[in-house]
Amino acid sequence: MTAVATTIWPRALLFLAATALTAVAPAIAQQQKPNILVILADNTGYGDIGVYGGGELRGAPTPRLDQLAAEGLRLTQFLVEPACTPSRAALMTGRYSIRSGLSLVAVDGSTFSLPAKEVTMAEMLRETGYATAIFGKWHLGAQPYSQPQNKGFDEYYGIPPADTWDAFGMIRQTRLTKTLDVPLDKGPQIVEAKRGEPLKAVKPYTEEVRREIDWELVDRGVDFMKRQKQAGRPFFLYLPISRTHFPNLPSKRFEGASRIGQFGDSLMEGDAIVGKMLDALDDLGLAKDTIAVFASDNGPDGPGARAFGGDMPDIGSPGPYRGALGDVSEGAIRTAAIIRWPDHIRPRSSNAMFSIMDFFPTFARLAGGRMPDDRPIDGIDQSDLLLGHNDTGRREHLLTFVGPDLVAARWKQFRAYFVDVAPGRSGEGGATLMGGIGSSAAPMNGYPRVFNIEADPREEHNIGEMYNWVLGPLLGAVEQYKASLVKSPNAPSANMTRF
């Protein structure tokens, strides 16, 4: 071989190597996209989990969630919407639930359904190369265009898409009241579907199935992660579990596990479910490549909550705050959230304001996805907070809606109510009011009630007159929202009483 040929040959090798690297670069980049696992608890209160002041102190230890918090970012000001459907709509769309007409809880027989034009987090992630699956509760409507297999998910298994976890009681209740005689195969069913397929009934959703359903979801979730690892494809696994939603019927292995009855048993079972998924990530060697999120969709059932079979009532804890599921006060919309991504998210606690809507744009940034640009997006990219580039986050305000009404707003640590602060099912009296023009609540004379959540977490002292300057930024957030409706009107508001 001549000297010239010897010189050319290594250059040719370098060229071929560079060409090969260029060819596989997209595949490598694809593999480097983080997997995303979102475990969404149901009606678990701020004060139920150990690291939030519950756990062992409440008679129901939560060691796996406490461990997750030690390994990740624990949010102490994670804000949601007052109930299941609204929070899930906000999570999936990155928008206030009222924009999609889902600002009330969907119930069987109602027309509430996620509009076909809404873009979901799953659609965004699937477009950028993710395999997607949901195992559990959708609760965003029964219309075919709203079902998860038609809104970005490759796989769906769970309860009917418009129902919640107590749907199995329908058969027993209709027989008890002698109103209907519904055969088991015509009642609520466990369903499944692959992308673009119609729903297929798997088996009746009975009390026995309800007790074990979460472990079915875990098994399917682990299998899904295994398959995606083998395929070398990043995944988005959405696991909306049943714990701790009424009726809290534990599986046999957790019956009697706590010191506070079936609610505590269910809370401990939810903790074990999280632990099982985290163990699976370790076993598959995926822990460092996966953003793992645990969050709750809203506050807990409050006093007066239901017991099943004469057990201790299902009383979750809102921690230091006032309110429960269905209320509009702080205890209804502030819940637990923990985010872990080893070597990327530094373990710590943060009091930065973070909305459930913020996951959508944050995941889009971290996964290289595209956000819709033809509609208002209320979520905020919080990736800098997660990655430790700032400690304060980028959110300062949040609005709260119920049905067609804007009922409250948060700005920093201040919360204002635009309607009378009814305690709902929290069983507590109204606020202690200070004198002056701020002592009346809208709509009586048009002045909002204002509370400093940090100084007054129980929302007992209306400081609207003393701190009237707070209304400027609070009402500014309202005006900003109203301005967005000019070009992008909301879907028809959720409504079951005004015809």
Type and span of the H or E element at 231: helix 207-231
The secondary structure of 70-116 as a DSSP string is HHSEEEEEEE--SSHHHHHHHHHHSS-GGGGT--S---TTS-----T
Of 292, 289, 297, the residue nearest 277 (C-alpha): 292
Interacting residues of 15 by C-beta distance below 8 A, sequence separation 6+: none
Judge residue 274's burial from the number of C-beta atoms within 10 Å of its C-beta, 0-12 exposed, 13-18 middle, 19 or more buried.
buried
Of 95, 144, 116, the residue nearest 481 (C-alpha): 95
- Tokens 């913020």 map to which residue? 358
Whole-number Å distance between alpha carbons of 414 and 354: 15
In Å, how far from its chain's centre is CA 98?
Answer: 16
Known active-site residue 139:
yes
Type and span of the H or E element at 213: helix 207-231
Catalytic residue selected from 84, 245, 389, 461: 84
Interhelix angle 262-283/63-71, rounded to 10 degrees, is 50
Catalytic residue selected from 139, 245, 344, 461: 139
Of 161, 22, 154, the residue nearest 89 (C-alpha): 161
In Å, how far from its chain's centre is CA 438?
Answer: 34
Of 419, 432, 428, the residue nearest 463 (C-alpha): 432
Sheet containing strand 449-452, strands side by side: 397-402, 405-411, 414-417, 449-452
- Residues forming the active site: 84, 139
